[in-house]
A and B are shown apart, each in its own frame.
Chain A
């Protein structure tokens, strides 16, 4: 089966790359081995919360100047990257996803444990705070009765320590009883399915209205709007106060929705999304990838001019670790990592973990390197890349999006030069 480009990995990076190529007229297939890390989204995209040397960033353009050479952002180059940043909202709105925030500076978000964390852009139904202070004097924090993956007391404690008066409450609607009978499935996505029904959302609204006193805002777990982010506006109108969603523990309702939207958009623009399939046994000739197989396709090979590796890090199985080494799983590509196992970890769970910075080595155009030489038509995007620690820096989504754009543009420009 022939395509112009084949992308391995159907997460944020793979989909952004696929969409950019597909919309530029290239025929793409995405091979996706299971659902992506988007399912644990915070409702926000991070770009660069702090630099590798630990400095909190505010003006992002300025921060880009101080990144090490091997950092994926440095490879994209400051000028190109700021161009991408300027157009990122447009790109996503073209995919039906509205983003909030200033692409050139960071704001803050409130996390499920009530912490304030720097972040970059918000999904449509999430709001950014300008700084670390709370914009409300009084808030109501409501949870769905019996929902354990969201804890109002954690958030209340944190807001109160910043001088905001908090009241907590629970919403208990009849239609939730059925779900609650199940001891393990009182989860965000299942709750959201119930609340997607208009009559259930209405009941939730009327309870919140009853509970409200003189609070300026209502903080709710992000269990609304599995299909569409517009639910937030409807809630706000119906309640008559500011509604502020806070992410829950996984799975992430806004993440699932965003993933589904990007996939739909990709398919609607003519892309082929092979779900639940795993790429394997690539065929290389000289410095080029000629074709790739998949578990489900068997002897039917997938062929393309260019290939993109967007397989993610350990979680998504782009990388794996044995006791002795870090391995890239499909091509056996060159890896940036430490050889001594002791170096992989910090003994404190919350400190910078070196293993998270490991990933594949690329040239300046994000082309992969195998046994020291560049594979000419194999590019990499997203967290399979080495050279940065996306968790420590808070640069996961930014890296996924912009390396994908850069790779797509590299592919497009190489097509144009050869034509």
Chain B
């Protein structure tokens, strides 16, 4: 359906550039409002900052003292996501702890600020906090309980994409913007190069949305407008298993490595913060100093981190935007920045949505879709605060597994945890489909097939984002070859399959070597013997 009487297959109501959580959320919101949507992404979904953060379902408490507005946004969105993104969210609660070296007086100020932002913050006895989260530093002198949680950004993005598609949106991954089609000062459409087919294509829409995250800087330039963005790198470490089941934060002004988030089978400490030049954005490396800093600070939150095996290190780039009246970048906003380039720059049919955070993606999408509708002259209300995402009907893992299988073993429960009520779509009818591909994260052949057939998976890295294949302890050592085999057989592309396998192992290695000691190095030595020694894949 089109709002404007669609004529051609390459005409849409709105084109969204960027398959991060903001683009995905905007595509879903627009599609739910009945718009004809095209989303283009030069890579896979959730490859930028979306998939490179803590996965923290902020309560907003972190911002309460410094930025009441952000805090309020966070807690509102937090409550909405618990409802509509149930299978992506884990309601763990969080603690803001005060260590002997911190100022205990800050705690009261903090709790006050939380309450005034509408965040249920409760000062609790440190002993109670230790009972609640046994891994916490036992020397804490203060603790505040807040409604933090964790959210899986890959799952969240994928669910938004799935729903957008269910509502008619066209999603094109591996399709890179090469230029804008402009008529004077009006953006009429986009030129796109498909990395899959090699084709160059053109698409048209009255409104184009730049949801490119940090890459939005360059996208804006291509459209002839300037956004002052500052890439801020944040490095994080993933530990081999869950040390904590409650989010741990330091109760002080936000600083380095002061959040430890339990997410799925692992936990994540972060972040550092450093400005980097734009040319490093596509190839970030975590330095030994960053690793050491994260560990040293992290062990203050949970001392056992000092002896817990680290799986990998990674870094994301926050798309920070400086206020328009401050090109120096000193006055940087972490809030949502929605720019209508018609009013701001005189470029019609072009909107940029940036800033913000994973937590507020839905609100960003709502504002953007509102702006799109205004431009299209359409009056449709946002529904994303009420309609659950696909997979997020109000049921828990055990209920879902029971419904589908009666009695379910670990593997099926793991699948249900990842796909929520969509699990019923995953083939499990025969004994091949229930065979395990990834033994660490318990991903079956059926789940891999489902991801390949329904979730726009083009390679092993995509598959990892949809299913957690290769995200476990072995980092692909056993499963990568199996999954590559399945993808190759499905697509009849063994040559590409082997290249993809090499690429995947390198992508994993990039995160492993910065923490390459102890058992991580043992595991790497084993993997390298298998894939080069036994398999000779290096040739």
Interface residues of A (CB under 8 A from B): 37, 40, 42, 46, 111-117, 145-146, 148-149, 151, 153-154, 156-158, 161, 177, 180-181, 183-184, 186, 247, 249-250, 313-315, 317, 320-323, 341-342, 344-345, 347-351, 353, 355-356, 391, 394, 396
Are A154 and B497 in contact (CB-based, < 8 A)? yes
Beta-carbon contacts of B502-539 to A below 8 Å, as 1s and 0s? 10011011100100111001100110111111111111
Are A153 and B506 in contact (CB-based, < 8 A)? no
Chain B residues lying within 8 Å of A149, measured Cβ to Cβ, are 481-482
For A143, give the chain B residue with the smallest CB separation.
B485
Beyond A40-B529, A186-B435, 11 additional contacts (C-beta under 8 Å) are A149-B481, A151-B494, A158-B494, A184-B435, A250-B530, A321-B517, A348-B509, A349-B502, A350-B537, A391-B529, A396-B529
Chain A residues lying within 8 Å of B489, measured Cβ to Cβ, are 151, 153
Are A321 and B481 in contact (CB-based, < 8 A)? no
Are A323 and B517 in contact (CB-based, < 8 A)? yes
Let me know if B432 is at the binding interface, CB within 8 A: yes
> Which bracket fits the contact residues of B?
35 or more
Are A154 and B488 in contact (CB-based, < 8 A)? yes
Let me know if B445 is at the binding interface, CB within 8 A: yes
Are B436 and A183 in contact (CB-based, < 8 A)? yes
Let me know if B478 is at the binding interface, CB within 8 A: yes
Report the separation of the CA atoms of residues A156 and B525 in the bound assembly, to the nearest whole angstrom.
28
Main secondary structure of the interface of A (DSSP, over half): loop
Are A355 and B516 in contact (CB-based, < 8 A)? yes
Chain B residues lying within 8 Å of A321, measured Cβ to Cβ, are 516-518, 521
Residue from B432, B481, B516, B518 within 8 A of A151 (CB atoms):
B481
Let me know if B358 is at the binding interface, CB within 8 A: no
Report the separation of the CA atoms of residues A45 and B539 in the bound assembly, to the nearest whole angstrom.
19
Q: Which of B58-72 contact A (CB under 8 A)?
A: none
Are B534 and A42 in contact (CB-based, < 8 A)? yes
Chain A residues lying within 8 Å of B513, measured Cβ to Cβ, are 344-345, 347
Interface residues of B (CB under 8 A from A): 285, 288, 292, 409, 411, 431-432, 434-437, 439, 444-445, 478, 481-482, 484-486, 488-489, 492, 494-495, 497-498, 501-502, 505-506, 508-510, 513, 516-518, 521-522, 525-526, 528-539
Are B488 and A349 in contact (CB-based, < 8 A)? no
Contacts A184-B439, A356-B528; A157 near B510 (Cβ below 8 A): no
Q: List 30 A-B contacts (CB under 8 A).
A: A40-B529, A42-B533, A42-B534, A113-B537, A115-B539, A116-B536, A148-B482, A148-B486, A151-B481, A151-B484, A151-B494, A153-B485, A153-B488, A157-B494, A180-B435, A184-B435, A184-B439, A320-B522, A321-B516, A321-B517, A321-B521, A322-B517, A323-B292, A341-B516, A342-B288, A348-B509, A350-B505, A350-B506, A391-B528, A394-B533
Report the separation of the CA atoms of residues A350 and B435 in the bound assembly, to the nearest whole angstrom.
29
| Shortest beta-carbon distance from B443 to chain A in Å | 11
Chain A residues lying within 8 Å of B285, measured Cβ to Cβ, are 347
Are A314 and B482 in contact (CB-based, < 8 A)? no
| Shortest beta-carbon distance from B438 to chain A in Å | 10
